Amino acid sequence: MKLSFFILSKRSRKKREGDYNLKTKKILILGAGAAGTIVANKLARDLRREIARDEVEITILDKSDMNINQAGFTFVPFGFYTPDDIRRPRRKLISPRVKAIFGEDGEVARVDLENREVTVKSGKKYFYDYLLIATGCTQDVESVPGLSKDFNTFYTSLEDTLRLKESLQTLSKGKIVVLTIKMPIPCPGAPAKFTVLLDDYLRYVKRARENFDITFLWPIPTVGPPPYNSNITKAFEERKINDVREFKFSEIDAEKKEVVSADGERIKYDFLVTIPPHKGIKALYDSGITDENGWVPADKYTLQYKKSETEKHDEVYVAGDAGPLEILKTGVTAHYQAFTVAQNLIYDVLGTGDKVHYLGNVGCPYVGSTLTPDSRGKAFLAVWSYGLKPRPFVPTEAGWYFYRMYYYIYWDLTVKAII
């Protein structure tokens, strides 16, 4: 018994001193949002034996230690969720098998794909064998003429969302314009959902819908795929919402309270809600690894980094809103991508040679109403993929209840990579 203990202790000591001829495979995840957290948790669970044997090390980096479900921003202004419903400390969501680093030691400053090296704001460097880029994207308010002088939104932060809520509560009448400047944006269905929620709020909470005029300005011909677009177009018609498609934005004249188009059309407003342009984060753009708009290029099936046929890195994966321009940016999309990436990283680490493909699975919840004389709301989750067109649908009460419930399920099942 003593001899066994002596041998075990000697081996443990050699291991601590680095005498083992054991190369730990390092997986580095940039971004602890939905995609990054799901991948980290699935890897931590499926590779737990390899982690225990120091064969695998998983590290996740982010500048913030708070996870905020940004999809909830659409609902907070109308009281459907509180701030505490849509945020959780990241350390409570990420497996203890994962090294989670936040603050200046977790804020990405530069990514060097050639040398497999990531530098953070503090100057510290992290090296990796496998990398996941899941940094999300950011808004670009300053590039829009006049926007910073009259900026109300539910798209950028919880603080901005709460300010919007306060502003809406003070309104008694007037012309409200919901403006989306250009695509792509995260969750492209959200502006239309917000407009439906706004109409219901004015109609059933303030009970003053007749005192308001609502205009929806949208930069492209359709809102989502045909079935989604058909439903929202009909809803806007029934609600007498001014629905302006292919609006070519030029500037905001904050002094005159007008949205100006490229053709010189001037649309007056009393209160403006704006969805600003979005772009990839500056650190990735400055690293020279993105396209001209800051989006990280990747193979649309394997989600491996691919800027061109000659410039690609199979050990680097991309998921979520940071990814290619041509892949729709929604929370459902990030969910599907995260499971694909996690499984491929597992195969890479284990050396099986297998590879699963992301098949373009995306989804966007549709909200037809939140409160009507004969129901408590109606919703539906529209889903499609590269080879599957979305089917015609009718929003239902059951869909509304499930959608509301999912914001709580999200924390205990989705981000923990259980479903």
List pLDDT tens digits, range 135-161: 999 999 999 999 999 999 999 999 999
Note down the domain range covering 160.
Answer: 140-277
Judge whether 259 lies within some domain. yes
List pLDDT tens digits, range 207-241: 999 999 999 999 999 999 999 999 999 999 999 99
Instruction: Tell me phi and psi for residue 64, to 5 degrees.
Output: -115, 145
Torsion sign, CA atoms 163, 168, 171, 176: positive
Under the banding of pLDDT at 50, 70 and 90, the label for residue 11 is very low
Instruction: Give the pLDDT mean for 248-254.
Output: 97
Give yes or no for a contact between 69 and 84, defined as CB atoms under 8 angstroms apart. Answer: no
Least confident of 93-97, 139-143, 175-179: 139-143
Q: Please tell me whether residues 144 and 268 are part of one structural domain.
A: yes
Instruction: Tell me phi and psi for residue 187, to 5 degrees.
Output: 50, 70
Least confident of 314-328, 342-356, 360-374: 360-374
Please, which contacts does 254-257 make with residues 24 or more away whose CB atoms are closer than 8 Å? 254/146, 254/149, 254/150, 257/150
Tell me, what's the pLDDT at 337?
98
Q: Please tell me whether residues 203 and 318 are part of one structural domain.
A: no
Q: Is the pLDDT of residue 6 over 70?
A: no
> Rounded distance, CA 259 to CA 274, Å?
10
Q: Please tell me whether residues 90 and 178 are part of one structural domain.
A: no
List pLDDT tens digits, range 269-282: 999 999 999 999 99
pTM for the predicted model, two decimal places: 0.92
Give yes or no for a contact between 346 and 47, defined as CB atoms under 8 angstroms apart. Answer: yes
Q: Please tell me whether residues 149 and 256 are part of one structural domain.
A: yes
Least confident of 241-245, 370-374, 391-395: 370-374
Q: Please tell me whether residues 183 and 248 are part of one structural domain.
A: yes
Q: Please tell me whether residues 100 and 195 are part of one structural domain.
A: no
Q: 3-state DSSP call for residue 126?
A: strand
What are the strands, taking DSSP E only, across 218-257?
242-244, 249-253
Q: Is the pLDDT of residue 183 over 50?
A: yes
Q: Is the pLDDT of residue 4 over 60?
A: no
Task: Write out the two tokens for 407.
Answer: 């914001």
Q: Please tell me whether residues 131 and 166 are part of one structural domain.
A: no
Tell me, what's the pLDDT at 373?
65
Judge whether 398 lies within some domain. no
> Rounded distance, CA 141 to CA 133, Å?
24
Q: Please tell me whether residues 245 and 196 are part of one structural domain.
A: yes
Q: Where would I find the H helices in 247-315?
A: 282-286
Q: Please tell me whether residues 207 and 271 are part of one structural domain.
A: yes
Instruction: Give the pLDDT mean for 60-76.
Output: 97
Tell me, what's the pLDDT at 14?
39
> Rounded distance, CA 47 to CA 43, Å?
6
Minimal CA–CA distance to 336: which of 315, 319, 314, 321? 319
Q: Please tell me whether residues 127 and 157 are part of one structural domain.
A: no
List pLDDT tens digits, range 97-124: 999 999 999 999 999 999 999 999 999 9
Residue 22, Cα to own-chain centre: how many angstroms? 37
Tell me, what's the pLDDT at 1?
42
Q: Please, what is the average pLDDT of the chain?
A: 93
Give yes or no for a contact between 162 and 57, defined as CB atoms under 8 angstroms apart. Answer: no
Tell me, what's the pLDDT at 419?
85
Tell me, what's the pLDDT at 374?
64
With vertex at residue 357, the alpha carbon angle to CA 414 and CA 185, rounded to the nearest 5 degrees, is 60
Q: Please tell me whether residues 100 and 165 are part of one structural domain.
A: no
- Angstrom distances, CA of residue 87 to CA of 50, 64, 68, 90, 363: 31, 12, 4, 9, 22
Give residue for tokens 């177009």. 233
Judge whether 333 lies within some domain. yes
Tell me, what's the pLDDT at 39?
98
What's 236's domain CATH number?
Answer: 3.50.50.60
- Rounded to 10°, the helix 331-350/34-46 angle is 30
List pLDDT tens digits, range 27-49: 999 999 999 999 999 999 999 99
Give the rounded percent of residues in the chain with a pLDDT score beyond 90. Answer: 90
Under the banding of pLDDT at 50, 70 and 90, the label for residue 194 is very high
Q: Please tell me whether residues 233 and 326 are part of one structural domain.
A: no
Under the banding of pLDDT at 50, 70 and 90, the label for residue 199 is very high
Under the banding of pLDDT at 50, 70 and 90, the label for residue 376 is confident
> Rounded distance, CA 133 to CA 312, Å?
14
Judge whether 373 lies within some domain. no
Strand order in the sheet with 25-30: 99-102, 56-62, 25-30, 130-133, 312-318, 304-306
Give yes or no for a contact between 77 and 168, defined as CB atoms under 8 angstroms apart. Answer: yes
Tell me, what's the pLDDT at 3?
42
Q: Give the end of a domain, one of 327, 350, 373.
A: 350
Q: Is the pLDDT of residue 15 over 90?
A: no
User: Looking at the DSSP assignment, which residues form a beta bridge with residue 259?
Assistant: 252, 267
Q: What one-letter code names the amino acid at 17?
A: E
Minimal CA–CA distance to 262: which of 253, 274, 249? 249
Domain count for the chain: 2
Judge whether 301 lies within some domain. yes
Judge whether 5 lies within some domain. no
Q: What one-letter code names the amino acid at 152?
A: N
Residues 6 or more apart whose Cβ sits within 8 Å of residue 149: 252, 254
Judge whether 358 lies within some domain. no
